[in-house]
Chain A
Amino acid sequence: MAKVKGDIVIDIEKCKGCGVCIPACPNDVIALSKNVNGKGYNYAETVNEECIGCANCAIVCPDGVITVYRKKIE
């Protein structure tokens, strides 16, 4: 069993759908939505539960719209 569990929160109204976060994720957690935000961008969303909270996505997001959480599991 995984020792940590992570989760991210994407500010979808500020996301520009650039996709730069997608190749940065080791577990393919992120993909671009088929839906668009108020600015017309296909925003990023999570597509599985495999997040480990490594923050790679948030670190490369040019617009700083990703917040990352990580919890240890005993």
Chain B
Amino acid sequence: MAEITKEDIRKPENLIYKKTDLLTDKPLSYCPGCGHGTAHRIVMEVLEEMDIQDKTIGIAPVGCSVLAYEFMNIDMQQAAHGRAPALATAVKRLNPDKFVFTYQGDGDLAAIGTAETIHACNRGENIVIIFINNGIYGMTGGQMAPTTLPGMKSSTSPYGRDVHMMGNPLKMTELVAQLPGTIYVTRQAVHTPANVRKTKKAIRKAFENQKLNKGLSFVEIVSNCNSGWKMNPVQANEWMVENMFPFYPLGDIKVND
């Protein structure tokens, strides 16, 4: 049999995977290896697979993903710091036929926006919240967040988080699972192919819930912040598995079908 060349393989009919057109061609503003990029992409892949890109409105946060609207090729708004769930509430109530989601970091969702998060979850707004937890304020220079692990170093806890002085980390995902308005609460990750596939399924389920007007779906993605953690991307993923996952275990926390 004749030798197969790269040209024989690289044909449209053999295409297995390419970046979705629901992400613009702008280079992402994220550091090399940052999970924000992967998270953006799978949210857009889910919208494309459900064919709801023209019916979806996303709410960008303040944080490294403040520019999400530059990369997600759909209708978007950008909220004041922490207010994405409040803005999403308004957008969804005024446009009940649209799919509405927020995309928020841990500083945004679990610090300055704690009240908005808890009340939107408790009211059971029919929205999807995507929560990127990297345990740090990435954008502003790696300061301690409510989610920073005990003993974890950050620019404002240079000797490690001392819980006696600095308080305990806040597990927002476990907390909102207690509230009657949440229908689906899960914690996932995007550092390996298997985890990306699982997270994508979770995001799909969240948007399917919204289609059925079931209430609020909350998808946490435990992610890396190489710059804030001061590691290279591959080390940061390993550190995340060893340190973040024991404290923030992956898996479904609440599934009400």
Contacts and interface: CB of A to CB of B under 8 A. Distances in A.
A64 B37 contact: yes
A43 to B, nearest CB: 11
Contacts of B190: 60
Interface size class of A (residues with CB under 8 A): 20 to 34
Contacts of A56: 193
Interface in B53-86: none
A71 B232 contact: no
Interface string B19-56: 11001000110111111111001000000000000000
B179 to A, nearest CB: 32
B196 interface: yes
Given A20-B237, A22-B234, A60-B192, A69 B11 contact: yes
B143 to A, nearest CB: 23
A30 interface: no
A23, A53, A64, most chain B CB atoms within 10 A: A64
B11 A5 contact: no
B16 A62 contact: no
Given A5-B4, A59-B193, A69-B10, A20 B33 contact: yes
15 contacts: A20-B233, A24-B192, A55-B193, A59-B196, A62-B28, A62-B32, A62-B35, A63-B27, A63-B30, A68-B15, A68-B17, A69-B9, A69-B10, A69-B11, A73-B1
Interface of A: 5-7, 9, 14, 16-20, 22-24, 41, 53-56, 58-71, 73
Given A7-B9, A62-B35, 10 more contacts: A7-B6, A18-B234, A19-B33, A20-B191, A20-B234, A41-B32, A62-B28, A67-B18, A70-B14, A73-B4
Interface of B: 1, 4, 6, 8-11, 14-20, 23, 27-28, 30-38, 41, 190-193, 196-197, 232-234, 237
